[in-house]
Structure 1
Amino acid sequence: MRHIFITFCILLISLPPACSQTTKRPLTAQDYDAWKSVQKTILSNDGQWVAYEINPQEGDGELVVEAPATGRRLNFSRGYGAQFSADGTYLIAKIKPALEAMRVAKKQKLKPDKMPKDSLIVVKLADGQQRSYANVASFKVGEDGGNWLAFLTKKEEAKKDTTQKAAKPKKPKKLKGDLLTVQNMDGTETFLFENVGDYAISDQGNRILLAREWLRDTTIVRGVYAFTVRTKATEALDSSSVVEVYTNLTLDKPGGQGAWMSSLDSAKAEVKSFSLFLRDFSKKNNVLVADSTTKALPTYYTPSEYRKPRFSDDGSRLYFGAAPLANPSLKDTTMLDDELSRVDVWTWNDKRLQPMQDKQRKEMLEKNYWAVYEVNSKKVIQLGSEILDDVDINFKLNNTYLLAKSNTTYQKMSSWEPGHTDLYVINALTGQNSLVAQDVLGRSEMSPTGKYVVWFDERDTLWKAYDRKMTTLRNLTKELNVAFYDEEHDTPDTPNSYGLAGWTPDDRYLLVYDRYDLWRLDPTGQDKPLNVTNGYGRREKVQLRYLKVLEDADFIDPSASNLLHGLWEKDKETGILSWKSGADPTVIIKEAYSYLPNSVAKAKKAEVYVFQKGNYAHPNELYYVKDWKQPQKLTNLAAQTDGILWGTSELVSWVSSQGVTLEGLLFKPENFDPNKKYPMLVYYYERNASSLHAFRAPAPSRSTINIPYCVSNGYLVFVPDIVYGGGTPGKNAYDCIVSGVLDLVDRGFVDRKNIGIQGQSWGGYQTAYLITQTNLFKAAMAGAIVANMTSAYGGIRWGTGLSRMFQYEKTQSRIGGTLWEKPLYYIENSPLFYADRVETPVLLMHNDADGSVPWYQGIEFFTALRRLNKPVWMLVYNDEDHNLTKRPNMKDLSIRMYQFFDHYLKNAPMPSWMSEGRTVIEKQRWDMKYD
């Protein structure tokens, strides 16, 4: 027995480790739909509660409401759009119909009014009690106060009585609108209003404005009403049997004033004239603010239905849009449609190309310009105009002076040189404007209280400030030996700035970034520029950026403790730092994670924060912070990776063929063995090294490889950075990518005979170019390529209607001149002209509704390779744009792309769609033919 026991122990010890562990598996396409992420996080004002959605890529998600301090947690299946009451006592949210119920309804081809609808829940957080309401279209609560809510319930159509046959009755007049419920949060008091089309609630939650209609005998009457929470009284503000539309209801923050628009023209009328009214609830009469007869507005102007009026926060002004009355259609109704001509007239001096006008048709029809009504003086002032169509308004601070921007003069040249702007200052009390600067290239803004206009001049790379009172222009960074422009900028266009963090109180200083630090600039020019982070960023090579944790904060107080986001350049780690002006920032957290800057938020009335972080091996998790030394993790999305082969990410560097030290990312399979040879996929797009620690979720492809999927299935994935210069983007890509690949091959673990490349758009172009210059790669997949720069140069980006010229002369394509100035550069960088050199099998994707890169570019390359008898396939997803948006198509591309690479790089069988193709008839029969 003793010998048997010893033998058994020896057998146990000698068993391989896998026998005692759970066997891991690679990712599959079936993992995509259920993969979850955190979305739409909100904090209650007191910071006691957090609400967030955990949603799968496809399927039913859930809303989680949690009190981290006590551990209380409430879960609501399919909840979304949550909002806390101002005092944090209640949570209100909508509940989506189950995905399967929607699928069944769509399969039954139900009409929109018969489809499953959202419901509403109101939850008392103290004890979890909840009420629910069906068929809810929308809800509103006071953001800053009150314990009342209003929600709109969709009206259900009455069912027809089919049991009896009777004489056809006279068709009754149909009332529009839905049921509005006004209710206090605990549900003890409820008021109902039928046939409501529009409603609003004040930020203080003390008054609700609604527009409804009803029958008076056989006449439809419409009106605007105000419900006052304190008195529970409903007051008729305006009603009429001839008004056809009441719309754009709004209230000031305290609920003391309301405004609305009305029109005598039918809602279906091609041209409608509106009147804007205001009501001070302490008085008994309405004030006509403006209509088409208002002398202060330009001739034939009327308040615009396409811009909702808005009160300034102090209630002293009502801002609204005004627009010229449109001319009615000139269509000749005496002729048949097929007797009318259909022609666009393109003119050399059109400010905008016809395709651009067509894309902007809706915007042009709805175009309106800011105007303002001074409540106390009862004056209307027109602010904007056809020239000054972009006016910045600070509703919170309600400045007298406003910044207006105009690109009218430069609209024609925007096709080849975009970004030029003239800057004006408008006096909101008079409407008078004055020119500040002409032909500005660079970001511009008005200081919060309206004292200064500042901008970064991209031509001379200086920050400039215009002192409105002194009418003086000052260069703020001229004497500094520091670059405030993007030092890695490598396109022929002027470089952008690193950005503006914000302003100190009362517009005293502005805070701007260099590559690493924050600088304090004095717009008066009296104080010298000061590095308020004390040079810490440059010394430590960490890029510091201010975290605006409260969305409505107007100023940065440098004497207070502020938070900064840090990105350390050497190891790409990120973290959070605390900072006060003039002192070294203090690192709170720094680690090999990606802290998502946009996820950091603070409760309005408490020192409580939330944020998300993750890295390649750990999905982004949500954290709750009362003490930055001990953040509390609220989610456990990392459990999704349990049992799955995942892998690692690392930073690699090499020297290019031009002697430039470059960086890139290398992703390795789990249990990587440096003595083995691995197939490798190479993906690229500009620079990605700084995203070393970013989490990448498994997902079907919109256009590029999914790195976790590829790594989990045994591929190395290499993502090299690319630097450009000299108007030779193709050669630049070759130098950077090929040198990086060869450097990895020399390390011994890359199977040189099985390397593939993949890129989309700009990366797709580089893929197409590379396979004309080298046979290093065994297979290539390229999406949305530019094959022929000479034919693409003068084409249209159909998504915007813009000419493509600017892209080649100024931006990403980096040629740096016109086709007639640099014809050889266009030819030398075009893969099409070297198609006969291609020896690499290539899979193309170019969709027939691509609005960024014309579909014919993919066709040109495909037909050239086809004629040359090269192995080439092209996937064309119908009615899809530059990147896929329809999930079935994304799943389809993922299957085909990995089948393509697996065949060439892993010796997998060639699928039938590659060997046999797929005919139009097979497509009509939905024969997928994957195998």
Structure 2
Amino acid sequence: MHFETLQQPVISDDGKVIAVQATPDRGDSRALIRFSDNNKQYEIANGTDVNVSADGKFVLATIEASLFERETDKKADLPHEVVLLNTQNGKQQKFENVDSALFSDNGHFLVVKFNVSKPESTDAKSELSESMAVESIASESKVSEFISSESIAAKKMAKSEDETHAEIEEADKGADIRLINLATNQHSQLSYVTQFAFDKTGKHFVAVVNQGENQLHQVVLVTLDDQKQRQLYGSSDEHIEALAISDDGQYVAVTKGAASSTRYGREHDMLLIDVEQNKQQQFAQSEGWTYNQYSSLQFSKDGQRLYVGRVPKVAQQAELADYQNANDVFNPEIITAKKQLRIWHGDDAKIKPQEVKEYEQELKRTYLAVLHLDSNKLVQLADKIVPDVTYGEQARFLLASSDVPYQKMITWAGFYRDVYLVDVNNGSKIPVLTQQPSDAMPTLSPSAKFLAYYQQGNVFLLDIASQRRVNLTASITTPFADEDHDYPSAAPGYGFGPWLADDSAITVYDKYDVWQFSTISNQGFMLTNGEGRKQKTQFRLVGLVKDELLPAVVSDAETVLLQGYSHLSKADGFFSAQIGIAVVKRLTESNSKLTLLARANKASTVVFSKQRYDLYPDLYIAANTSPQNAQQVTQLDKQRKPFKWGNAELVHWRDGDGVNMDGVLIKPTNYQAGKQYPTLVYFYRFMSDRLHAFPDMKLNHRPNFAWYADNGYAIFLPDIRFEIGYPGISSVKALTAGVQKLIAMGVTDPDAVGIQGHSWGGYQSAYAVTQTNIFKAVVTGAPVSNMTSAYSGIRHGSGLARQFQYETGQSRMGESLFKAPQRYIENSPIFYVDRIQTPMMIMFGDKDDAVPWEQGVELYLAMRRAGKDVVFLQYEDEPHHLKKYPNKFDYTIKMKQYFDHYLKGEQAPNWLRQGEAYQEYKKVD
């Protein structure tokens, strides 16, 4: 329970300050602060969601309530606190009742937003907040349309008592914010703030003030160096919604609508404010398009364009009829209007559960448009036909896509999209790809001159200006399709690396190597010089500075960091290469797993973890050019000392078809050669890449490997390779041959082999015991037991039908149920229950959002009818993976007790011997 994991490491722009959250499986987190240039260490008790100012001088952490408080208090009653740590002197400053906090981009300022005041707040406090906000604005001489405190008072006197106390919708209510100069600790405050933002220069702060009770709505600009406030816009009757400020602070944009309207029905206009010239321009609703509460605003980095989400105009829905008199209760129209009915039509693009699940998402959907600031031309980019435009910083073209033509066939065929280039200048769309797999979206070059994409085993380049397409890999014999793809669908590619910043080349991955293709000559070469395939090492570029709005880029001749994963040793290493040259150089030797976690924005410093089965993944920092000189900055491996850990090794064997297979064997603590041990098999698909992975020290859906090893078990994690149409038997061939290998090695007691799997692994484990008696106990979590009924089931988490999983996806049947019914039967455990000789424990959450939990009921009832040894654990109100800690704890204990009984001969607990009557359960409840 108390074992801590490190989460969400963040690093200052100069790479000198690192903050990370250490979180136990159950308990209270803490924030750890470390330094690259000295041995100082700080800790913030109960700290979560850490953030570091750009200059590294301050760290911000949310203070989580203690575990006891979280378990015993209502969520609304829990404290909401943040702590600001000064990394220069270690001093901490606490802010209470906080909703959120944000550093300015240069790290010199902090804004703290407090939770909205409760209704019982005194009138005096409200008056004070009003006065504070207005007087501070009134002191600025350049205010053009400022609303004075006298005008507010007059309006308050004129309003009726009902109006004065009119209920303001919760989302429209503003809150107090505090703006802090971190260098001087000078504080200033604004009240009734609903939105705020810094510009990128760190010179300006802008806030939206919506004081609904007193009809004061304004946009306030704060000059940060002197804290002066200036009203950019004010209104008595228009609520201000979205807000954005350009990077240089020259422009501010907002959306606004009638404050008297309900939030849901409120239509908005857009207002653009030129801060320097003190000019305003309004962009009203256009024919067919308007703005609403979900419209977002985003300036381009160059300050030339403003992107905004708009929505089509729709007629307001008529209010539902209600009974107004005694005769209305017999009115057929009113009675019919009160029906509760969902009609499923065969021509529906989406099935009803999917529509229901996506209702809120669709309600909030907006369609991207762009305002060109030089011409004030507003161009609609997305629409209902092509609804998805990927926002980026490219000035001329953006990527757009649509799944509209394929929404019906998603049910059985998987996910596809048509891809377009949309012209930012006029909104016209250039078709690029038809029915492209959704997981194979193209990549657009930084200047939008080229588009690269993968299709049917090859990589293509589109010159956008000439519309010329070139197959870059047509003459290359090296495969670019996934060589391990075993699904009944087209094999995907391995993806793209970064573009060169000047659009002159792009990097592309095959299974092992990195290629560089020129966009000018269309010729390519292996940047890694073929060493990847020679050494069976997969190279990938890592440690790049990331920009969410542009593709990753490198410069010509730049030295780049590569991570290399050996398919032979299952270990990682760091390597270097130089863009434009076919040479790769090893930097580190590593018998471990390496994970690069962060890169400083303005320095070469990277943060990575290093782990093995017997080495905790502590954090290291280094220059991306010399990871071999890394400095360890956390020391959590000491948590392992109370445990007897065991060790992991790689095992090789051949499956029933003679295919070479790999797996991981974790030997028990104090392993003695020649002694046979009870062995637990856990699996899913490929598992051998976990050879050097530190085990999850938390309770979840799988056995805790270290705990089982410490209790005398060997653990086996075998790879599985599937044959399309025969997933069940493919799995059995790999499993049985792997277990026989362990028996032949003298490690495994042939009379004490257990198997556990969850979800897809749960299906395989349930199927395996219908085909072999090699396993003496099985625990199967959330298994599909009957493919014939699961085929047309619903994934309740997404509302999608499950048919695509069988025809093109993980279940690998490759045909519909009615085209290959016998194949579905042959791969369903339910039809072979009479063969099962292995005791089985089934686990399901009865709100499973991926596999219908009735699949567990079917399997249980079939085994019960056949007189088999079965027990079924139904965890109430739980999804596909258990979320409630008492349930995870209970399942962990029961799984261990189950295997201990059947594999080690320990006495069965009462629940296993006799179950539990519902009456007993209700007594506990």
TM-score, scaled relative to structure 2: 0.90
Task: Give the structure 2 partner of residue 124 of structure 1.
Answer: 86
Task: Give the structure 1 partner of residue 884 of structure 2.
Answer: 886
1:723-738 equivalence runs, <5 A: 723-738=721-736
Contact 2:487 2:724 (8 Å CA) reproduced: no
1:693 and 2:692 matched? yes
Question: SS of 1:639's equivalent?
Answer: helix
1:306 to 273, 289, 294: 294
Compute the displacement of 1:390 (Å): 1.3
1:336-355 equivalence runs, <5 A: 340-355=338-353
Task: Give the structure 2 partner of residue 664 of structure 1.
Answer: 663
Task: Give the structure 1 partner of residue 132 of structure 2.
Answer: none
Contact 1:102 1:116 (8 Å CA) reproduced: no
CA displacement 1:254-282 (0-9 Å, x = unmatched): 22211111111557444221111111111
Task: Give the structure 2 partner of residue 3 of structure 1.
Answer: none
The one-letter amino acid of 1:47's match is: G
1:242 to 237, 240, 260: 237
Task: Give the structure 1 partner of residue 443 of structure 2.
Answer: 445
Compared CA separation, residues 767 and 92, structure 1 to 2 (3 A):
closer
1:546 and 2:574 matched? no
CA displacement 1:456-479 (0-9 Å, x = unmatched): 11xx31111221101112211111
Task: Give the structure 2 partner of residue 278 of structure 1.
Answer: 272
Task: Give the structure 1 partner of residue 654 of structure 2.
Answer: 655
Contact 1:370 1:382 (8 Å CA) reproduced: yes
Give the whole-Å Cα distance in 1 for the aligned partners of 2:315 and 2:501. 48
Task: Give the structure 2 partner of residue 207 of structure 1.
Answer: 204
1:319 to 287, 307, 317: 307
Compared CA separation, residues 538 and 880, structure 1 to 2 (3 A):
same
Compute the displacement of 1:838 (Å): 1.0
Contact 2:543 2:599 (8 Å CA) reproduced: no
Question: SS of 1:925's equivalent?
Answer: helix
Compared CA separation, residues 896 and 465, structure 1 to 2 (3 A):
same
1:137 and 2:99 matched? yes
Compared CA separation, residues 873 and 104, structure 1 to 2 (3 A):
closer
1:521-560 equivalence runs, <5 A: 521-524=517-520, 526-552=521-547, 554-560=552-558
Task: Give the structure 2 partner of residue 27 of structure 1.
Answer: none
Task: Give the structure 1 partner of residue 57 of structure 2.
Answer: 89
CA displacement 1:185-235 (0-9 Å, x = unmatched): 0344221112222211222222111122448xx843222211111342211
Question: SS of 1:881's equivalent?
Answer: coil
CA displacement 1:583-627 (0-9 Å, x = unmatched): 331111121111013x1x332233322211111001100112255
Compute the displacement of 1:839 (Å): 1.3
Structure 1: state its 5+ residue gaps: 1-32, 162-168
Structure 2: state its 5+ residue gaps: 123-159, 324-328
Task: Give the structure 2 partner of residue 613 of structure 1.
Answer: 610
Question: SS of 2:629's equivalent?
Answer: coil
Give the whole-Å Cα distance in 1 for the aligned partners of 2:432 and 2:386. 13
Compared CA separation, residues 453 and 527, structure 1 to 2 (3 A):
closer
Compared CA separation, residues 551 and 726, structure 1 to 2 (3 A):
closer
Task: Give the structure 1 partner of residue 40 of structure 2.
Answer: 72
Give the whole-Å Cα distance in 1 for the aligned partners of 2:54 and 2:657. 60
2:221 to 211, 222, 226: 226
Compared CA separation, residues 548 and 304, structure 1 to 2 (3 A):
farther
Question: SS of 2:413's equivalent?
Answer: coil
Question: SS of 1:54's equivalent?
Answer: strand
Compute the displacement of 1:315 (Å): 0.9
1:358-757 equivalence runs, <5 A: 358-395=356-393, 398-441=394-437, 442-457=440-455, 460-524=456-520, 526-552=521-547, 554-581=552-579, 582-597=581-596, 599=597, 601-626=598-623, 627-701=626-700, 703-757=701-755
The one-letter amino acid of 1:662's match is: M
Task: Give the structure 2 partner of residue 149 of structure 1.
Answer: 110
822-831 or 439-448, larger mean C-alpha shift: 439-448
% identity of equivalent residues: 31
Compute the displacement of 1:331 (Å): 4.8
Contact 2:650 2:663 (8 Å CA) reproduced: yes
Compute the displacement of 1:926 (Å): 2.5
The one-letter amino acid of 2:182's match is: M
CA displacement 1:795-814 (0-9 Å, x = unmatched): 22222122211111111111
Give the whole-Å Cα distance in 1 for the aligned partners of 2:340 and 2:658. 58
Give the whole-Å Cα distance in 2 for the aligned partners of 1:530 and 1:824. 48
Compared CA separation, residues 83 and 774, structure 1 to 2 (3 A):
closer
Give the whole-Å Cα distance in 2 for the aligned partners of 1:517 and 1:66. 35
Question: SS of 1:40's equivalent?
Answer: strand
Give the whole-Å Cα distance in 2 for the aligned partners of 1:438 and 1:155. 49
Give the whole-Å Cα distance in 1 for the aligned partners of 2:313 and 2:610. 52
Contact 1:140 1:201 (8 Å CA) reproduced: no
Task: Give the structure 2 partner of residue 24 of structure 1.
Answer: none
Compute the displacement of 1:827 (Å): 0.8
Compute the displacement of 1:132 (Å): 2.6
The one-letter amino acid of 2:35's match is: A
268-277 or 364-373, larger mean C-alpha shift: 268-277
Compute the displacement of 1:100 (Å): 2.9
Contact 1:547 1:565 (8 Å CA) reproduced: yes
1:291 and 2:284 matched? yes
Question: SS of 1:629's equivalent?
Answer: helix
Task: Give the structure 2 partner of residue 47 of structure 1.
Answer: 15
856-865 or 149-158, larger mean C-alpha shift: 149-158
Compute the displacement of 1:182 (Å): 1.2
Give the whole-Å Cα distance in 2 for the aligned partners of 1:89 and 1:428. 40
Give the whole-Å Cα distance in 1 for the aligned partners of 2:791 and 2:231. 61
Compute the displacement of 1:131 (Å): 2.8
Give the whole-Å Cα distance in 1 for the aligned partners of 2:312 and 2:560. 47
Contact 1:537 1:543 (8 Å CA) reproduced: yes
Give the whole-Å Cα distance in 2 for the aligned partners of 1:740 and 1:146. 56
Give the whole-Å Cα distance in 1 for the aligned partners of 2:20 and 2:386. 41
Count of aligned residue pairs for this structure pair: 864
Contact 1:273 1:325 (8 Å CA) reproduced: no
CA displacement 1:354-399 (0-9 Å, x = unmatched): 111111111121121100011110110000011111112213xx32
The one-letter amino acid of 1:325's match is: K
Give the whole-Å Cα distance in 2 for the aligned partners of 1:188 and 1:805. 60
Contact 2:527 2:584 (8 Å CA) reproduced: no
Compared CA separation, residues 715 and 330, structure 1 to 2 (3 A):
farther
Task: Give the structure 2 partner of residue 850 of structure 1.
Answer: 848
Compute the displacement of 1:859 (Å): 1.0
The one-letter amino acid of 1:611's match is: F
1:61 and 2:49 matched? no
Contact 2:174 2:211 (8 Å CA) reproduced: no
TM-score, scaled relative to structure 1: 0.90
1:181 and 2:178 matched? yes
The one-letter amino acid of 1:205's match is: G
